[in-house]
Structure 1
């Protein structure tokens, strides 16, 4: 079932998260979907990340050619940056997963993933495969091909290393290898317990001038072309306009774009398959004739389309059942499964059938006794009866039988009990701790799925014009808001409470150090009582009486905060402090992260309730730090954990005298890219440094950076980076205070770094800057711009591309020691 792209276009694309229940669609959309039944061709688009897909081509294939299209994104974009909020890593991956699903709702394609984790920028496919495990991700790509069964595979990138991101190149290499191996029964034979081999017919690279250094190097004459710039009268939108709306779902990457109209030529390089490459879709039978009894099916579908009455869609229901029965007799295939699902949607749409299975809270917990509601409406002259409904996962039958005449509403409530052992709704790929490059997913059938199935689903049984018909209705959360009106969101099964530490990391600088930590217990349902318990690392102590950790009768969304004096153990290193709540003899040790944005459905992540403890020799100088917000990071939290007082400041309104109270000022990541006030008032920072202050700027990008010299002395940013986090770092100026005061920095401080050393280093700078570190990725030239320091008046300026925003939340001791040195005023002050 699709959204009404003609009448409700604006509503659907602007308020996606509110319109979670798909409304019955108008006649034009119904006819469009009926016409899609006539074709059986399938196209799989393959690339590396969310946003890599060509939404224009996918929209054209789905809605212009009326074929089935899908996008296989090897990763979920976990390693990128987030321009709309603070979420990184798993949280960002979940946001980008939902952005891709929102994009596919618009252009009509399906969405798949592999288990590959986006570990950050990679310069070549060798590094990428070393991190991911090439065989594992290749297996996932073949699994997707065998299940989706495409006739044609299209890649966004080519196989030549060095032109683009290593993940990009790897996606093309894997796509071509998977193309050749998916039809081989000796390749990953364990998959054949659940699926069958499949050999796609052709594979192409979807190229463009973007991949060439000069436009004149892009010889259009050597490529296969397809005009993706058409217009759909039934949908009232061009495929290029649809593509812009789809791409604009990638809000966490600031990829909003305006729609275009007119011809848009796509170019394709033929890679493999029969030599019929003059047109991308040549040599593929688009009809049903390749299936047993296919001519009969084709005629039945053609009759459906020819006889469709826009003012009376229910007149097509009987013919849809005829087609359904014919397709059900076919051997199992992806075409059969997808077409049966499309027919199910068409039957409901032709009947104007509305269904909503809902609860009045967004969360439920195992063991809960809850009331549910079901609303069913027949908005047609079809002879429709409700036979019954059931919740198979719980083993509950729902008594809701009865006739439904035109515009009758059946609304009933049910009381059910959620089993005590019912699983939580955590995204399946986050259930087990993952390796650096690959998420751990044991269940083969889950691999490739974009998201979990809904937590609870009702199977509703109908009789429509005498035909038995069943469909699934997921349990949703329904509420009403005086501004937004009716709001429908996903419903999740979660723990009854969430245990949240005040800080992600606590830093201890010597053995036996006592430090107060904060833990909040947040009730996610009413009447929560219990006892907080701690699982301490060996040698660490918590000075509190267990009786002081009780909580009673917490109501939904209320919290109780505990202050605990923690004493560090004897050996330096990183540790985990776990927390649990004892409730009715059950132990619950989980933290629930809620992610809410207007453009995607609400999301949750359920993790173990824990805090990283770092015992390291970290000396600090100074007390007060001013923080200028950038694009979002957790560096300020790390500074608090180190013992600094951190205040966020508004550079536009703060005075020089107010700035002077701070020992150092830190600009968040990409602050000059996103903070226009900082671009204008940078002169204040020069005055601050001149009076003795320390000003540290973290990495910025050249993208969207005005051509203005913000820095106290000239420097030029580049795309230089060191992506191998184990790369050795040379101390260019070993006697510089940055490496000696107040902490003596050694090679050991660069051990245990995650994802990368740093990014977007300057490559040219004024002689007043002193480069501190040098390093390089394998087979590359040395980069010296990771850390530059310049004296300015009585103070100093620090520019660094080192990825403190990743290392500090990961609890890397050396990153804390080096940061403390960078923030220290000159030793003679």
Structure 2
């Protein structure tokens, strides 16, 4: 918008809006959105393909939203890497009016052998005049903020993994709110069972090769605190427990098998590219079934880890060392202890961030931790 005030030209950007009415809110204004004639959204946006399952097809869905006044027709097709195919490879689509939606299911067939790299499958809607639409969006819209569409290319990233895993591995998982890890372990081929409060209270636990305690579970699962002794008993009788990052409550005496402490503020490594030193490269955590090397710490996002232990009983063994630039090295990001007949692990590594991002090294390392229970 251009104005002139006392002979001075003034230009101001003004958002285009329209007037709307709600029976409860009354009249209000909304921003005008510029969107594609057809929005193409895919789910999931990222999946992993372990080498052991490379011949298995992958399922995904495409949701189309028509925005063209008067409707639009065309076909939904796919651009795939060489040697890959999608079934069906093309679907005719016709929308009668704007606002219509439909969902279609598809299957990706990868070749029998793939290298550990990321492959991209692109969904695209091509209308009868040849126009291509290959983006979708989600609308972030709450009363306390300005509504904004978030656009994303309609691509499925397939991360092939050179990650071995013992066969028929059965894992109990104690999840708290917002934990993405169980779904990613299932993609790796793990039989993951989410443990309920009733399970922790009285169900047999010795059927599991390992039990994983999810992020912040000691804060979000009071039943875990109440029945923590059953977890320790499971380990003492030969089980494997893997505790991911938890906050200060976790240091309460009696929750871990031996005394631990965290600094305040807690130790963390914010540089996601920080060099990682394996203190015992021949330890089974770094050798079985996947040999862990420097390459497995490439491509990490946001951070290496948080809520590292600051001090611990001598019966724990630290396995890694890393440091932020200009700071002292930290060794409390991955520690392991024998407890009775079993194995107890605590890790503050940000695996909960790396696994949903498809970081291969995080999958390989987590597979090794789970494999401790298969021996």
Report if TM-score (shorter chain) is over 0.5: yes
Unaligned runs of 5+ in 2: none
Shift of 1:723: 2.3
Equivalent position of 1:590 in the other structure: 135
Equivalent position of 1:664 in the other structure: 210
What SS is found at the alignment partner of 1:614?
A: strand
Aligned residues: 363
What SS is found at the alignment partner of 2:186?
A: helix
Shift of 1:529: 5.3
Alignment equivalent of 1:618, drawn from 149, 157, 163: 163
Greater C-alpha radius of gyration: 1
Equivalent position of 2:294 in the other structure: 747
Shift of 1:808: 1.9
Distance 1:708 1:489 in 2: 54
Q: Are the counterparts in 2 of residues 667 and 698 from structure 1 also a CA contact under 8 Å?
A: yes
Unaligned runs of 5+ in 1: 1-324, 342-444, 446-452, 458-473
Q: Are the counterparts in 1 of residues 19 and 28 from structure 2 also a CA contact under 8 Å?
A: no
> In the TM superposition, what whole-angstrom CA distance separates every residue of 1:416-448 from its partner, at most 9, and x where no partner exists?
xxxxxxxxxxxxxxxxxxxxxxxxxxxxx9xxx
Distance 2:236 2:33 in 1: 55
Shift in CA distance, 705/658, structure 1 to aligned 2, threshold 3 Å = closer
Equivalent position of 1:645 in the other structure: 191
Alignment equivalent of 2:111, drawn from 567, 572, 588: 567
Alignment equivalent of 2:65, drawn from 516, 524, 527: 524
Q: Does residue 234 of structure 2 align to residue 688 of structure 1? A: yes
Alignment equivalent of 1:727, drawn from 251, 254, 274: 274
Shift in CA distance, 613/714, structure 1 to aligned 2, threshold 3 Å = same
Distance 1:798 1:476 in 2: 58
Alignment equivalent of 2:121, drawn from 577, 580, 584: 577
Structure 2 length-normalised TM: 0.81
Equivalent position of 2:355 in the other structure: 808
Q: Whose helix proportion is higher, 1 or 2?
A: 1
Distance 2:193 2:19 in 1: 41
> In the TM superposition, what whole-angstrom CA distance separates every residue of 1:4-59 from its partner, at most 9, and x where no partner exists?
xxxxxxxxxxxxxxxxxxxxxxxxxxxxxxxxxxxxxxxxxxxxxxxxxxxxxxxx
Q: Does residue 254 of structure 2 align to residue 712 of structure 1? A: no
Q: Are the counterparts in 2 of residues 568 and 615 from structure 1 also a CA contact under 8 Å?
A: no
What SS is found at the alignment partner of 1:492?
A: coil
Q: Are the counterparts in 1 of residues 179 and 214 from structure 2 also a CA contact under 8 Å?
A: yes
Greater relative CO, 1 or 2 (CA 8 Å, sep 6+): 2
Q: Does residue 211 of structure 2 align to residue 635 of structure 1? A: no
Shift of 1:798: 2.0
Distance 1:724 1:761 in 2: 14
Q: Are the counterparts in 2 of residues 656 and 688 from structure 1 also a CA contact under 8 Å?
A: no
Distance 2:173 2:141 in 1: 25
What SS is found at the alignment partner of 1:611?
A: strand
What does residue range 769-788 of structure 1 map to in structure 2 within 5 Å?
A: 769-788=316-335
Distance 1:662 1:480 in 2: 54
What does residue range 86-235 of structure 1 map to in structure 2 within 5 Å?
A: none
Shift of 1:601: 4.9
Q: Whose strand proportion is higher, 1 or 2?
A: 2
Shift in CA distance, 477/485, structure 1 to aligned 2, threshold 3 Å = closer
Q: Are the counterparts in 2 of residues 671 and 700 from structure 1 also a CA contact under 8 Å?
A: yes
> In the TM superposition, what whole-angstrom CA distance separates every residue of 1:537-585 from its partner, at most 9, and x where no partner exists?
34x41253524x4455597354222233233654332233322222333
RMSD: 3.5
Shift in CA distance, 616/562, structure 1 to aligned 2, threshold 3 Å = closer
Shift of 1:738: 0.9
Alignment equivalent of 1:679, drawn from 220, 225, 239: 225
